[in-house]
């Protein structure tokens, strides 16, 4: 089956190009997919434009769009096992993680289904009884949705669900290395009954296909999740056509642990925070910021448990963590070990590839812990996007906050303490888009997600996540017009 979806048809790339999708566990070829070029991207944009201008979709009442989203949610659950398996083969993550992703995005589709049909706009009091003023929310038009490889299904759904709820037409562009679940998602949107041209799919490199979408004057908005440098380039490129951009970029997220925290829970979550999905999580808790008096006991136990994490095939139920996504990415993660050591950080465990011959073909890297770190080190400041934890210490609450905010990013943070007043004080002062108290990681479809500072522009999820895909329009109606006689009296 061809894997580009343009104007309601599955088609091959116009130039006949293909790409092999590689399983990061053993480098086997999972599937060959079609590889679009800018000509295919142009056709996809034209289809989305035509569907928005002339198709039946703009005439669909909100209730019908809502029903489509509910149907996609149902189909995601129907095919849950298959989708989880595809995500494992594509990214290396465990089947359990893939299943959690499917459940999460089902919730996101359901949430935006409710939003789609409960957004009639608002009346505005003009202060004049003869004026009827209201603000309604219209779709932007054609939206290009560009997603990364670490959560291919989840990040794409965070965009697709609100963009469809708002009535836009779409061109989806997943990461070239992890397209499988986005192909499946597009099939489900088609099966749910979206008209031709409403959701188009192009697969291909960011530098050509992605860049074309950002440049195209026929695209009204780009919603991007990915790295800081790419996001920054997209923002300046989009300026040429004064396109709206929404950016979800990286994070260097502090996990602040006070000595009075529940030890067992804090340790357990500290491990999950950084080593879940081999650290390839934008909101990973890669910076442990721990109170001095707790430091030795906490870090010793953390290292002991990190060394027991079972790496392996994501399809094996005993596996606790899979490989990194690619050889190239592993090289990048590995380079931070030398950087950290040269900066004076003390390597406590990991820092290399595993010896286990069973893992030889995969892109595995051992859970790694660096102690004696300071906020000025590159290994602390830059996103390694791998299983590397850095440890910093503090002695008082204001120092903890200062360290937690000492980053150019601002995506997520956590604070662990038994003192509710202190927890609230720290949570209020941290400059991050999400702050967890005595927890790490959860998000809710109905609560905004996104970054302060260089972690992004705009928000996904929640009401603001829908507003990203809408244009407010003010309709001002004079119900009793009288000549004003300003001129020509």
Distances (CA, A) of 294 to 10, 255, 298: 58, 14, 6
The CB-side HSE value for 149 (13 A sphere, CA atoms) comes to: 23
The reply to whether 183 sits near ligand NAD by the rule CB under 6 A is no
Q: Which of 55, 98, 148, 351 binds ligand NAD (CB under 6 A)?
A: 148
CB 265 within 8 A of CB 438: yes
* Dist. CA 239–CA 224, nearest whole Å: 15
Q: Which of 24, 92, 98, 206 binds ligand NAD (CB under 6 A)?
A: 206
The reply to whether 155 sits near ligand NAD by the rule CB under 6 A is yes
Q: Which of 116, 146, 156, 161 binds ligand NAD (CB under 6 A)?
A: 146
Strand locations in 9-93 (E): 9-11, 18-22, 29-34
Q: Which residue is nearest to ligand NAD (CB)?
A: 206
The one catalytic residue in 35, 282, 291, 373 is 282
The reply to whether 272 sits near ligand NAD by the rule CB under 6 A is no
Q: Please give the structure tokens belonging to residue 157.
A: 């759904």
What is the closest distance, in whole angstroms, from the C-beta atom of residue 474 to ligand NAD in the complex?
Answer: 32
Length of the chain (residues): 489
The reply to whether 282 sits near ligand NAD by the rule CB under 6 A is yes
CA-only gyration radius of the chain, Å = 24
Nearer Cβ to ligand NAD, position 219 or 266? 219
The reply to whether 227 sits near ligand NAD by the rule CB under 6 A is yes
Tell me which residue of 171, 145, 204 sits closest to 46, measured CA to CA: 171
The reply to whether 230 sits near ligand NAD by the rule CB under 6 A is yes
Tokens 């996007």 locate to: 385
* Dist. CA 20–CA 35, nearest whole Å: 9
Nearer Cβ to ligand NAD, position 176 or 334? 176
Nearer Cβ to ligand NAD, position 40 or 291? 40
What is the closest distance, in whole angstroms, from the C-beta atom of residue 203 to ligand NAD in the complex?
Answer: 9
Q: Please give the structure tokens belonging to residue 401.
A: 């906050």
Stretch that binds ligand NAD, among 5-13, 50-58, 199-207, 368-376 (CB under 6 A): 199-207
Instruction: Please give the helix or strand (H or E) that residue 365 lies within, else none.
Output: none
| Annotation says 301 is catalytic | no
The reply to whether 375 sits near ligand NAD by the rule CB under 6 A is no
CB 44 within 8 A of CB 200: yes
The reply to whether 176 sits near ligand NAD by the rule CB under 6 A is yes
Stretch that binds ligand NAD, among 80-88, 182-190, 242-250, 262-270 (CB under 6 A): 242-250
How many residues belong to the site for ligand NAD (CB under 6 A)?
34
What is the closest distance, in whole angstroms, from the C-beta atom of residue 252 to ligand NAD in the complex?
Answer: 9
| Annotation says 53 is catalytic | no
Residues with Cβ within 8 Å of 76's Cβ and at least 6 positions away in sequence, in order, are 83, 102, 105, 106, 109, 185, 188
Q: Which of 5, 57, 151, 363 binds ligand NAD (CB under 6 A)?
A: 151
* Dist. CA 379–CA 399, nearest whole Å: 20
The sheet that has 199-201: what strands, in order across it?
9-11, 4-6, 199-201, 169-173, 142-146, 221-225, 244-248, 456-457
Footprint of ligand NAD (CB under 6 A): 146-151, 155, 173-176, 205-207, 210-211, 214, 225-227, 230, 233-234, 248-251, 282, 383, 385, 411, 451, 455-456
- Residues involved in catalysis: 248, 282
């Amino acid at each position: 089956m061809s894997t580009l979806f343009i104007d309601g048809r599955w088609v091959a790339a116009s130039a006949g190009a293909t790409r092999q999708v590689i399983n990061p566990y053993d480098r086997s070829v999972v599937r060959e997919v079609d590889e679009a070029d800018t000509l295919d991207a142009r056709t996809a944009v034209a289809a989305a434009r035509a569907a928005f201008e002339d198709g039946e979709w703009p005439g669909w009442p909100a209730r019908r769009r809502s029903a489509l989203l509910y149907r996609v949610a149902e189909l995601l659950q129907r095919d849950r096992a298959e989708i989880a398996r595809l995500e494992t083969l594509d990214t290396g993550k465990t089947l359990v993680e893939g299943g959690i992703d499917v459940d999460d995005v089902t919730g996101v589709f359901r949430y935006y289904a409710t939003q789609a049909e409960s957004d009639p706009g608002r009346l505005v009091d003009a202060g004049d009884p003869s004026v009827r003023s209201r603000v309604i929310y219209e779709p932007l038009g054609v939206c290009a949705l560009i997603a990364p490889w670490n959560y291919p299904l989840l990040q794409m759904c965070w965009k697709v669900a609100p963009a469809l709820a708002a009535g836009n037409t779409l061109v989806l562009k997943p990461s070239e290395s992890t397209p499988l679940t986005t192909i499946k998602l597009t099939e489900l949107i088609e099966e749910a009954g979206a008209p031709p041209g409403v959701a188009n799919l192009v697969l291909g490199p960011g530098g050509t296909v992605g860049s074309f979408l950002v440049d195209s004057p026929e695209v009204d908005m780009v919603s991007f999740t990915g790295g800081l440098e790419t996001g920054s380039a997209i923002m300046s490129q989009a300026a040429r056509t004064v396109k709206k951009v929404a950016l979800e970029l990286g994070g260097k997220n502090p996990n602040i642990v006070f000595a009075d925290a529940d030890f067992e829970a804090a340790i357990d979550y500290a491990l999950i925070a950084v080593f879940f999905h081999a650290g390839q999580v934008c909101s990973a808790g890669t910076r442990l910021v721990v109170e001095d008096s707790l430091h030795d006991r906490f870090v010793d136990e953390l290292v002991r448990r990190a060394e027991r994490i079972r790496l392996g095939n994501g399809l094996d139920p005993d596996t606790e963590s899979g490989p990194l996504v690619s050889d190239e990415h592993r090289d990048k993660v590995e380079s931070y070990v030398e950087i950290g050591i040269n900066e004076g950080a003390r390597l406590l465990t990991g820092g290399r590839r595993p010896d286990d011959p069973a893992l030889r073909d995969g892109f595995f890297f051992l859970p790694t812990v660096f102690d004696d770190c300071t906020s000025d080190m590159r290994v602390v400041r830059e996103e390694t996007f791998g299983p590397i934890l850095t440890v910093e210490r503090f002695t008082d609450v204001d120092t903890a906050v200062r360290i937690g905010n000492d980053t150019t990013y601002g995506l997520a943070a956590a604070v662990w303490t038994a003192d509710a007043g202190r927890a609230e004080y720290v949570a209020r002062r941290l400059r991050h888009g999400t702050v967890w108290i005595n927890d790490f990681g959860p998000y809710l479809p109905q609560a905004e997600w996104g970054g302060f500072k260089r972690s992004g522009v705009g928000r996904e999820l929640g009401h603001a996540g829908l507003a990203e895909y809408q244009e407010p329009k003010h309709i001002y109606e004079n119900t009793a017009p009288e000549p004003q006689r300003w001129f020509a009296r």
